[in-house]
Amino acid sequence: MTARILIVAGSDSGGGAGIQADIKTATMLGAHAMTAITAVTAQNTMGVAAVHPVPTEMVIEQIDCVIRDIGVDAVKIGMIGSAKTAVALAARLAEMPGLPIVFDPVMVATSGATLADDATIAAFERLMRVATVTTPNLPELKALSGMSVLDKAAQREAAQSLVQRRGRALLVKGGHAKGRQVTDRLFQPAEPGVTPEMEWSDPRIDGDATHGTGCTLSTAIACELARDWSLPEAVARARRFVRIAMQDAVPLGRGHGPMAQQSVRLDLNASRWAPMLNHISVPARDLPASEHFYRLLGLRQIVRAEDRYARFESEGGATLSLEAEEALPAPVVFLECGDLDLMVAYLKAQGLTFAQAPHDEQWGWREARLTDPADNIVCLYQAGEMRRFPPWRLRDA
Query: Is residue 365 domain-shared with residue 284, that is, in the same domain?
Result: yes
Distance in angstroms (rounded) separating the CA atoms of residues 316 and 293: 19
pLDDT score at 266 = 87
pLDDT digits (tens, 9 = 90+) for 125-160: 899 999 999 999 999 999 999 999 989 999 999 999
| Residue 391: pLDDT over 80 | yes
Residue 224 C-alpha from the chain's centroid: 9
Q: Rounded CA gap, 143 and 122, in Å?
A: 9
Q: Are residues 141 and 31 in the same domain?
A: yes
Residue 180 lies in a domain: yes
pLDDT bin (cut points 50, 70, 90) of residue 273 is confident
The residue-averaged pLDDT of 200-228 equals 95
268 domain-assigned: no
Q: Is 41 a catalytic residue?
A: no
**Residues 324, 256 share a domain:** no
Q: Which of 41, 135, 210, 319 is catalytic?
A: 210
DSSP string spanning 131-192?
A: -SEE--BHHHHHHHH-S--SSHHHHHHHHHHHHHHH-SEEEEB-TTS-SSEEEEEEE----T
CATH number for 158: 3.40.1190.20
Rounded to whole angstroms, the Cα distance separating 183 from 308 reads 35
Residues 85 and 207 in one domain: yes
Q: State yes or no: pLDDT of 305 exceeds 80.
A: yes
Q: Which carries the bigger pLDDT value, residue 266 or residue 230? A: 230
**Is residue 395 in a domain?**
no
Same domain (yes/no): 286, 382? yes
Task: Judge if 206 and 322 occupy the same domain.
Answer: no
pLDDT attached to residue 100: 98
Q: For residue 269, is it within any domain?
A: no
Q: How confident is the model at residue 1 (pLDDT cuts 50, 70, 90)?
A: confident
- Count of Cβ atoms closer than 10 Å to residue 79 Cβ: 28
Residue 265: enclosing H or E segment and its boundaries? Answer: none
38 tagged catalytic: no
Same domain, 100 and 224: yes
Residue 187 · residue 163 · CB < 8 Å: yes
Q: Are strands 101-103 and 133-134 parallel, antiparallel or unpaired?
A: parallel
**Options 24, 76, 142, 173, the catalytic residue:** 173
> Do 359 and 223 belong to one domain?
no
Catalytic residue among 78, 135, 215, 379: 215
292 contacts 310 by C-beta, under 8 angstroms: no
Q: Are residues 198 and 54 in the same domain?
A: yes
Query: What is the mean predicted confidence (pLDDT) over 104-127?
Result: 80
Among residues 16, 18, 81, 212, which one is catalytic?
Answer: 212
**pLDDT reading at 179 higher than 80:** yes
Establish whether 84 is a catalytic residue. no
pLDDT band, very low/low/confident/very high, at 111 (cuts 50, 70, 90): low
Residues 6+ apart with CB under 8 A from 226: 3, 4, 5, 31, 73, 74, 100
Check if the beta carbon of residue 65 is closer than 8 Å to that of residue 38: no
Q: What is the pLDDT of residues 44-83, one digit of tens each?
A: 999 899 999 999 999 999 999 999 999 999 999 999 989 9
Look up 338 and say whether it is catalytic: no
Task: Respond yes or no: is residue 255 known to be catalytic.
Answer: no
Containing structural domain, residue 194? 4-263
Pairing between strand 276-284 and 319-324?
Answer: parallel
Whether the Cβ atoms of residue 221 and residue 24 lie closer than 8 Å to each other = no
Across the range 282-311, mean pLDDT stands at: 95
| 230 closest CA partner among 100, 131, 345, 78 | 100
Say whether both 114 and 190 belong to one domain.
Answer: yes
At residue 113, does pLDDT exceed 70?
no
Distance separating alpha carbons of residues 257 and 254, to the nearest angstrom = 7
**Which of residues 204, 231, 263 is at a domain's end?**
263
Q: Are 234 and 31 in contact (CB under 8 A)?
A: no
Do 142 and 39 share a structural domain?
yes
CATH number of residue 295's parent domain: 3.10.180.10
Assess whether pLDDT exceeds 80 at residue 233: yes
DSSP 216: H
Single-letter amino acid, residue 96: M
In a domain, 333, yes or no: yes
More confident residue, 357 or 306: 357
Mean confidence (pLDDT) of the chain = 94
Boundary (domain end) residue, out of 263, 296, 315: 263
| Segment 254-265 mean pLDDT | 92
What is the CA angle 280-201-176, rounded to 5? 125
Say which DSSP state 14 is in.
T
pLDDT over 70 percentage in the chain: 98
Model confidence band, residue 119 (pLDDT cutoffs 50, 70, 90): confident
Residues above pLDDT 90, as percent of the chain:
85
The DSSP code sequence of 25-76 is: HHHHTTPEEEEEEEEEEEE-SS-EEEEEEPPHHHHHHHHHHHHHHT--SEEE
- Structural domain total, the chain: 2
Predicted confidence band of residue 222 (pLDDT cuts 50, 70, 90)? very high
Catalytic residue at 215? yes
Q: For position 112, what pLDDT does the model report?
A: 67
Q: Could you tell me if 254 and 323 lie in one domain? A: no
> Does residue 102 surpass a pLDDT of 70?
yes
The answer as to whether 26 is a domain residue is: yes
Spatial distance between the Cα atoms of 126 and 86, rounded to a whole number of angstroms? 8
Domain boundary residue, one of 229, 263, 297:
263
Residues 321-338: pLDDT tens digits? 999 988 899 999 999 999
**Position 92 in a domain:** yes
pLDDT bracket for residue 110 (50, 70, 90): low
The residue annotated as part of the active site, out of 38, 213, 219, 319, is: 213
The predicted structure's pLDDT at residue 361: 97
Could you tell me which of 195, 247, 294 has the C-alpha nearest to residue 389? Answer: 247
Q: Is the pLDDT of residue 193 over 90?
A: no
